[in-house]
Amino acid sequence: MTVTDVVIIGAGAAGLMCALSAAARGRQVLLLDHANKAGKKILMSGGGRCNFTNLYTEPANFLSNNPHFCKSALARYSQWDFIALVGKHGVPYHEKKLGQLFCDNKSSDILGLLLAECDAAGVSLRLDTTVSQVDKTDSGYRLHSSAGPVSCASLVIATGGLSIPTLGASGFGYQIARQFGHQVLPTRAGLVPFTLTDPALKALCGELSGTSVEDCLVSCNGQSFRENILFTHRGLSGPAILQISSFWQPGDEIEINLLPHLDLPAWFLQQQAERPNSELRTLLAELFTKKMAGLLADQWFDSKPMKQYSPGELRSIAERLACWRLVPAGTEGYRTAEVTLGGVDTGEVSSKTLESLKSPGLYFIGEVLDVTGHLGGFNFQWAWASGYAAAQYV
Ligand code: FDA
């Protein structure tokens, strides 16, 4: 029987941060993962450059049934704390846009610094290890693992959400939460591309697959994000679409303003006055790629010389481009989603210690909880902050 102070299940972002911080406090920490490598999502993140935090992280960047829950942990381990850690290890980074900090080189720089800190603090890391059973004892918890029985005073669940099963995701954390009397709020894929089934829409997106529109305003259920969108073979993606997907429920309509930076009715009237003989498709090609302009001109509008449009027709063209409304058929699901919405109900977990209010000595950190960040480095910041907060009490 292995006896240790703390067992952390899940060597992802939150588990690694919790392990290194608890071990730095002098706690004996065993970090287990069923995968053959720690931090697989860190390695995959940010297109291989890990968007490890956001300069403008605030509680408002997170979705949860209880929007106040994340405040305490985020305040006690902020983006500045993680930036200082990155600086300590001399990892070069840059702000890409909107406060999003990315590695200059590769994501393995972030995983490397976490593993180096774990190593220096004396964390025992055991990979390829599955846990089949967890029982409460008088002094803590006993685990049956593929590496033998383990007993500990504090057990931390850091197994993340359901997104991307091929990277090690499992529903294990939810199962343990239920076992110890916790509510698990319904889960669904977030930060995920939309699929379309309407034949005309699907054909349009398919033909434009790979094309992005730089500055769009995408809205749904009272939320809006201004970023680029990307056409795919199966539907729509790109940052603005991923962001709005977290606010979308099946059947909801989304609205896309393809040109939020332009006062379109005024622009069309001006073009009509200055270039009466120019075709609509020629003008659209100044706003979009030539291919997209041609497709919109053919499929959405009856393209003709500008002088032939009535003011009403020009208004409705402007309206269509500024308020493209569509109902996605669905999302690409957990296969490609960056995050899982919902999860362990925060109402039954201490926001200060991340300890279960149902079972003393049991902790939940990271994505397994019902706390989901916007796109842009916020999800890692939640993993760092919640991992650090729990580490002060385990
Ligand atoms: P995480 O998923 O990181 O770790 C969970 C760990 O638990 C895994 O190592 C897994 O193997 C292990 N595990 C699961 N079940 C287990 C079991 N039964 N037994 C043992 N171990 C088990 N965020 C961001 O802020 N910036 C970014 O750039 C990106 N980019 C990005 C790209 C892609 C492709 C994805 C899928 C996700 C992102 N994210 C992101 C989101 C971010 O990766 C995610 O929110 C955090 O990794 C969550 O950290 P956790 O530690 O909670 O879970």
Q: Indicate if 311 and 387 belong to the same structural domain.
A: no
Say what percent of the chain tops pLDDT 70: 100
Give the integer Cα–Cα distance in Å for 164 and 170. 9
CATH code of the domain containing 57: 3.50.50.60
Q: Which domain holds residue 74?
A: 2-189+338-391
CATH code of the domain containing 283: 2.40.30.10
Q: Indicate if 157 and 206 belong to the same structural domain.
A: no
Q: 312, 331, 350 — which closes off a domain?
A: 331
**Distance, CA 164 to ligand 1 centroid (Å)?**
9
Q: Indicate if 175 and 197 belong to the same structural domain.
A: no
Residue 34 has pLDDT above 90, yes or no: yes
Closest by CA to 256, choosing from 208, 313, 319, is: 319
Predicted TM-score of the model (pTM):
0.96
pLDDT tens for residues 101-144? 999 999 999 999 999 999 999 999 999 999 999 999 999 999 99
Give the integer Cα–Cα distance in Å for 251 and 109. 41
**Distance, CA 213 to ligand 1 centroid (Å)?**
29
Say what percent of the chain tops pLDDT 90: 98
pLDDT (average), residues 53-68: 98
Q: 294, 310, 331 — which closes off a domain?
A: 331
How many folded domains does the chain comprise? 2
**Distance, CA 316 to ligand 1 centroid (Å)?**
45
Q: How much is the mean pLDDT over the chain?
A: 97
Q: 331, 354, 369 — which closes off a domain?
A: 331
Question: Which ligand 1 atom lies nearest to the CA of residue 377?
Answer: 25
Which pLDDT score is estimated for 302?
86
Which pLDDT score is estimated for 54?
98
**Distance, CA 13 to ligand 1 centroid (Å)?**
6
Which alpha helices (H) appear in the chain, and where do they start and end? Answer: 13-24, 40-44, 71-76, 79-88, 108-121, 172-179, 199-207, 239-245, 264-274, 280-284, 290-299, 311-322, 378-391
**Distance, CA 220 to ligand 1 centroid (Å)?**
27
Backbone angles phi, psi at 46, to 5 degrees: 55, 40
Q: Indicate if 217 and 366 belong to the same structural domain.
A: no
pLDDT tens for residues 162-199? 999 988 899 999 999 999 999 999 999 999 999 999 99
Give the integer Cα–Cα distance in Å for 304 and 380. 50
Pocket, ligand 1, Cβ cutoff 6 A = 9-15, 32-35, 40-41, 44-46, 50-51, 130-131, 158-160, 163-164, 168, 170, 172, 338-339, 366-367, 377-380, 383
Which residue CA neighbors atom 45 of ligand 1 most closely?
Answer: 379
Pocket test for ligand 1, best of 51, 63, 338 (most atoms within 8 A of CB): 338
